[in-house]
Chain A
């Protein structure tokens, strides 16, 4: 079972470059999320999606865009990378948005912006 797969696992970008992180899930989940993890900050929500074609802003959305063109994929884009976006990015999915539903996480993407 693949579960939630993130691509790539590591990336180094120069300031101002753009990139897209891909998240794919094979569990037919409706809900998908992008979080970033920084030391001492826990996981903070960037954007999320409650279904194909829908997206919503989370706690720290600035500098990121997302798209959910297919149910199984959730893309996170950085249009002009900044050193402040150096972080570990996690994608997650859940079957519903109901309060008792756990989220399943990908393995993370470590992004460094120099």
Chain B
């Protein structure tokens, strides 16, 4: 079973509008971290935001916020006031605690296109 599911292969958003990118995850662990990365057309992987499983407040980083719903096992990324430079692939990833040294597991990504 997939550990990270991103159901939106592609999304379009108008410039200056907000957009939500979906991510659901599967784990039986109580301790885990959720990450979002951005991959622009240049190819590099840029870390955006992190949410820990015990964090009671949703994480925010500038225009990025993470809508964390633990009971639903979802960790959606919200980008406010979209800019043309936000056009990129976005990956949700998870790291579990069960073995103490688990690598990041990624979803398949969502391609966001911002329209002027």
Contacts and interface: CB of A to CB of B under 8 A. Distances in A.
A105 interface: yes
Contact of A102 (B50, B100, B103, B109): B50
Interface string A83-114: 00000101010001111111111011000000
A108 B43 contact: yes
Interface in B18-68: 29, 31-33, 35, 37, 43-45, 47, 50, 52-53
A43 B91 contact: yes
Contact of B95 (A90, A101, A108): A101
Contacts of B107: 42
A31 B44 contact: no
B92 to A, nearest CB: 9
B45 A90 contact: yes
A97 B101 contact: yes
A108 B95 CA distance: 21
B104 interface: yes
Interface of A: 31, 33, 35, 40-45, 48, 50, 58, 88, 90, 92, 96-105, 107-108
